[in-house]
Amino acid sequence: MMNIQPLTLTGQYVCLEPLNESHIPELIKAGSDRSIWPSIWPSNQYQPDVMDKYIRNNLEEHMAGKKICFAVKHLISNRIIGMTSYQFFRLAHYGLDIGGTWLIVEFHRTPVNTECKYLMLKHAFEVLHCIRVQITVDEDNIRSINAVKRIGAVHEGILRNNYVVEGKYFDLNVYSIIFEEWPQVKLKLEHILSR
């Protein structure tokens, strides 16, 4: 069975730090841009009080061992620029999800998200010995769908009417990488990051 514990993952562009109270003010500021949030989030997600509650809820789950949340620190600017997490653990089956990822707009279409996924996938497959890592993406979040496809995740299907947010039903796209695919995905990510 997997033993998942909070840890710090460091690359060339980012440091993924285990979420703690000290990150909250910077994350509230980072999440204040309305354009960050895809449609599955509440429409007022960017508001400081809503962000505060969202981050504290994630911190509670993190402290309870239900997920491992990371504050994404950009190493060059030394700023906290978003969040990501390991979640939905399937410990006996060596599986987990990577999700809850968001970054400030300035870092969209940069190596930052690619390196976040690389560090998390590498740890999942090479240290935790996962046999499956899953990523789910809301139907309307085209930016994230394209990012997940670009790293080589396989589209497995759609969970129809999986969420209801503000009275609207949302389908969820399910992607995965399994351990046999990891060497090829790893090479692809390293190639992207080396450019």
Tell me the domains of the chain and their CATH numbers.
9-194 (3.40.630.30)
The whole-number pLDDT of residue 79 equals 97
Using the structure block, give the residue that is written with the tokens 């710090």: 8
State the chain's mean pLDDT as an integer. Answer: 95
Looking at the chain, how many residues does it have?
195
Q: Are 82 and 108 in contact (CB under 8 A)?
A: no
Residues 155, 149: Cα–Cα separation, whole Å: 8
**CA dist 191 → 111, 120, 151 (Å):** 11, 17, 11
Backbone CA torsion sign across 33, 158, 189, 118: positive
Tell me if 84 sits within 8 A of 16, measured CB to CB: yes
Q: What is the pLDDT of residue 113?
A: 95
Distance between CA atoms of residues 158 and 105, nearest Å: 27
> What's the one-letter identity of residue 19?
L
Using left for φ > 0, alpha for ψ between -120 and 50, and beta otherwise, residue 126 falls in alpha
Separation between Cα atoms, residue 32 and residue 59, nearest integer Å: 18
- Over the stretch 99-143, which tens digit does the pLDDT of each residue have? 999 999 999 999 999 999 999 999 999 999 999 999 999 888 888
**What are the distances in angstroms from CA 143 to CA 46, 102, 105, 127, 140?**
18, 11, 11, 29, 9
The backbone region for 17, taken as left when phi is positive above 0, alpha when psi lies in -120 to 50, beta otherwise, is: beta
Query: Is the pLDDT score of 38 beyond 80?
Result: no
Among residues 37, 23, 97, the alpha carbon closest in space to that of 66 is found at 97
CB of 96 closer than 8 Å to CB of 9: no
Q: How confident is the model at residue 45 (pLDDT cuts 50, 70, 90)?
A: very high
Share of the chain above pLDDT 90, in %: 85
pLDDT number for residue 139: 86
